[in-house]
Structure 1
Amino acid sequence: MAEHKHGSMDITTQEKTFEGFITFTIRTVIVILVAVILLAIFNA
């Protein structure tokens, strides 16, 4: 069995994917909040 050295794996792809996921999630939450606010304002 090969020895594993902690911190030796290249994780640049995983970091980019995670950054993209977080960016997408933040933008989606902002859009949802704007939609809820607009519904609250114009639902008179």
Structure 2
Amino acid sequence: MAEPHSTVHPAGHPAMDYEEHENTYRLFVTGAKWGMGFVALVLVLMAYFLL
């Protein structure tokens, strides 16, 4: 059975690229905001032209 690692690094795990992780998360949040705005715009235009 493997023993759990108890070493805690104050700056996080050295094998992780935290800067790239944060950039990817920011890109995801920005894309989600723009995507929701686009969907809202399409719904408003559909309501205007189809009703």
Q: TM-score range by the shorter chain?
A: 0.7 to 0.9
Question: Greater Rg, structure 1 or structure 2?
Answer: 2
- Normalised TM-score (structure 2): 0.72
| CA distance in structure 1 between the partners assigned to 2:21 and 2:9 by the alignment | 18
- 5+ residue gaps, structure 1: none
User: 5 Å matches for 1:5-44?
Assistant: 5-6=9-10, 8-9=11-12, 10-44=17-51
Residue by residue over 1:1-44, the C-alpha shift from the partner in whole angstroms, topping out at 9 and shown as x without a partner, is 461124x1251111000000000000000000000000000013
| Structure number with higher helix proportion | 1
Q: Which runs of 4+ in 1 moved over 3 A?
A: none
**Count of aligned positions:** 43
- 5+ residue gaps, structure 2: none
